[in-house]
Chains A and B, each alone.
Chain A
Amino acid sequence: MDLEVHPGEAVAVVGPNGAGKTTLLRILGTLLRPDGGRLRLFGLDPWHAPQAVRVRLGMTGHESFLYGGLTVEENLRLFAVLYGVAPERMEELIRDSGLGPRRGEIVRNLSRGWQQRVSLVRALLPRPALLLLDEPFTGLDAEGSDWLRTTLLRHLASGGALVLTTHRPQEVAGLCHRILSLQDGRLVPEAGSSCPPAAPALLGGGRVPGFWTSYRALVMKDLRIESRAREIVLSMGTMALVALVLFSVAVGLDPTVVASAGPGILWTTITFTALLGLGRAYELEQEQRAGWAVLAAPVDRAAILCAKATSTFLWMLLVEVLSLGVFAVLLNVDLSPPRMASLGVVLLLGSAALGLPGTLLSVVAANTRLRQLMLPLLLVPLALPLLIGSVGATAKVLQGLPLGAAGPELRLVAAFAIILGAASLMLFEAVVEDGP
């Protein structure tokens, strides 16, 4: 396969279903690492300078790549931050695309055609030098198609390049300079190709955002979705209650046994609810493949993993605070303020330590045939040292000992957090290099 695209040039790739059009776009969009061959985008190797390449790419896919639980404006604002784009640019695009009246609507409630339009606006945000569109005309009405055509012509006129896929070559007549057919993994020129106009300067209105900027935007995104849906905390909270009762029943409801098993019961409950939260947090990224858009953006991988771990950690804390009262009553634990404070430190540290490896492994698990069933098999054995430390520290605190007495246990938890957290950050890229 040989393909070279120049500034101001539009290339259409046609071919039957399954020919590999989408795979080609994903490779160009840095979402998939090719098995072999040489790929240069803007003269750069995308695997050596990923962010410099991603900031100049705009991409849409078969799915909308949007967060269904956010409004149109919230989605666009998020990606404006992730691409370092000024809010004025976003406003300009909202105006041009006719999205103005719908900016406050939840994306999940929009029709396919409008979602498609939002998705295209998202891709156009950074004035990309190369626009990659997968079947962009599918689902658009006549007005939408006209808008898209005008927008794409303007993009080409200002020196942007375009690669799109389509089933129907007649759709892109007058727009694309070359039409290539993808057959058996090779690109064959189809229609008589016209020469692209002389290339003006490259576009690019985006900047690579800093770690904290993108981290904050991604955490806020999760908070916003959850504050609207309230499904993660609700299901985790109910699970916590069910687990507390289940384990109390399992030890025979004998008050003294329940009390002595208390720390273990508490942490087993936390583990169960965390598994639930981690699974759901990942599904959120899979819905409409919004996570792909985040991975295609020039965002530090560490910021993505840290943000996801942070929101999971926040759900865990919320559920722990909510269930601590129930825990104290059911297990007959005396929670005086000083004890409460010490227990708070243990819960904070233990839950935080689970965040990064838990998030990493939830991505691994979800991409296997067993899906989230695989997560407990991977995470629980790995987290047992953490649980042993947390249970030990909790037991000491509940016995009324000062926090200092739990030093060895807390050091173990901290060591787990540092070692596995750092390793997770380093290994995350290898996990997501072909999409979430």
Chain B
Amino acid sequence: MRRLEVGALVVALFLAWYGSFLYAPTERIMGHLQRIFYVHLSLWGAALLAFFVTFGAGIQYLRAREAYWDELAGASAEIGVLFNGLVLLTGAVWAKPTWGVWWTWEPQLTSTLLTQLVYLGYLVLRAVSEADRARRFAAVVGILAFLNLPLVFLSVRLLRGVHPVVFGQDPAGRPTGLEPAMVHALAMTLFAFVLLYSALVRLRLRVGLLDGAARRLRIELSG
């Protein structure tokens, strides 16, 4: 990464911290605890972006058959699983004092967990496939996994929920929403995490490509 990019990332992360801890007002009922929501939701957004990149790179790999796209898909899925795992973790930290339990079988939680399982399967597949087939198989499963996400969200809606609805209507039909300052804080955090995602994915992609090059060199030297 170039120095400029590192600088931009540091600034964005600082703004995210500032926005969610100092700039945004304290929530009336939940108090400071609510501030975890900025990180929580942003991580979730970045994780979805990561899985979308895995999907798109998978399609592109099947069309162009260039190792680059496969490495990108794999790198993005890894970061996606990491972020999605952090979504579950930050959610649990918030849930314990609010709901009294670390975990409850509630739609959003369940769908995040199901998503995590699907992509863990994807990562295992990448680890156990033979070199040449691995790329095609990973692309296929990465595409199916992403197409499945809307169905995951739909399916868990059939279960009853207690998750706070941030955008939309509360059970009484009143529109719920955020203070403008809260929206600003959320936007800053989301931006920072998308930037963080892109930095991490590029680092991981470079490691993957170098790894592939090293493997090719080793084969050339030994054969």
Contact = CB atoms under 8 A, between A and B. Distances in A.
What is the predominant secondary structure among interface residues of chain B facing chain A?
A: helix
B129 interface: yes
A420 interface: yes
Interface in A347-379: 357, 360-361, 364, 367-370, 374, 377-378
A433 interface: yes
Interface in B95-136: 114, 117-118, 120-121, 124-125, 128-130, 132-133, 136
A60 interface: no
Interface in A156-195: none
Contacts of B125: 364, 368, 374, 377-378
A416 interface: yes
Contacts of B137: 364, 367-368, 431
A380 B143 CA distance: 16
Interface in A126-176: none
Contacts of A367: 129-130, 133, 137
Interface in B128-154: 128-130, 132-133, 136-137, 139-141, 143-145, 147-148, 151-152, 154
Nearest to B115: A381
A430 interface: yes
Contacts of B140: 360, 364, 427, 430-431
Interface residues of B, number: 30
A420 B129 CA distance: 22
A309 B147 CA distance: 20
A385 B129 contact: no
A430 B136 contact: yes
Interface in B148-182: 148, 151-152, 154-156, 158-159
A392 interface: yes
B14 to A, nearest CB: 37
Contacts of A424: 144
A382 B158 contact: no
A431 B145 CA distance: 15
Interface stretch (A66-74, A203-211, A274-282, A407-415): A407-415
Interface string B56-98: 0000001000000000000000000000000000000000000
Contact of A412 (B117, B129, B130, B155): B155
Contacts of A382: 118, 121, 144-145, 148
B151 A434 contact: no
Contacts of B143: 423, 427
Contacts of B117: 380-381, 384
B159 A385 contact: no
B136 A420 contact: no
Contacts of A378: 121, 125, 141
A419 interface: yes
Given A409-B158, A420-B144, A424-B144, A384 B114 contact: yes
Nearest to A432: B136
Contact of B147 (A420, A431, A433): A420
B114 A381 contact: yes
B156 to A, nearest CB: 7
B139 A368 contact: no
Contacts of B152: 384-385
A84 B121 CA distance: 41
A37 to B, nearest CB: 14
B223 to A, nearest CB: 10
A365 to B, nearest CB: 8
A370 B118 CA distance: 17
A389 interface: yes
A271 B170 CA distance: 37
Nearest to A383: B148
Given A370-B128, A423-B147, A408 B158 contact: yes
A388 interface: yes
Contacts of A386: 151, 155
Residue with the greatest number of chain B CB neighbours at <10 A, chosen from A419, A424, A427: A427
Contacts of B147: 419-420, 423
A392 B157 CA distance: 12
B62 A430 contact: yes
Given A367-B133, A368-B128, A420-B147, A377 B62 contact: no
B60 to A, nearest CB: 13
A372 to B, nearest CB: 12
B148 A420 contact: yes
A408 B154 CA distance: 10
Nearest to A428: B140
Nearest to A365: B125
A431 B143 CA distance: 13
Contact of B151 (A361, A385, A409, A430): A385
Nearest to A378: B121
Given A430-B136, A431-B136, A431-B137, A374 B158 contact: no
Contacts of B159: 388
Contacts of B139: 430
A208 to B, nearest CB: 24
B79 to A, nearest CB: 19
Given A368-B130, A385-B148, A415 B154 contact: yes
Nearest to A367: B133
Contact of A381 (B118, B129, B136): B118
B64 to A, nearest CB: 13
A412 B136 contact: no
Nearest to A33: B65
Nearest to B122: A378
25 contacts: A360-B140, A364-B140, A368-B128, A368-B130, A370-B124, A381-B114, A384-B117, A384-B155, A385-B148, A385-B155, A386-B151, A388-B155, A408-B158, A409-B158, A412-B154, A412-B155, A412-B158, A416-B151, A420-B144, A420-B151, A423-B144, A427-B140, A427-B144, A430-B136, A431-B137
Given A364-B125, A367-B133, A378-B121, 8 more contacts: A361-B144, A367-B129, A370-B124, A370-B128, A384-B114, A420-B147, A423-B147, A424-B144
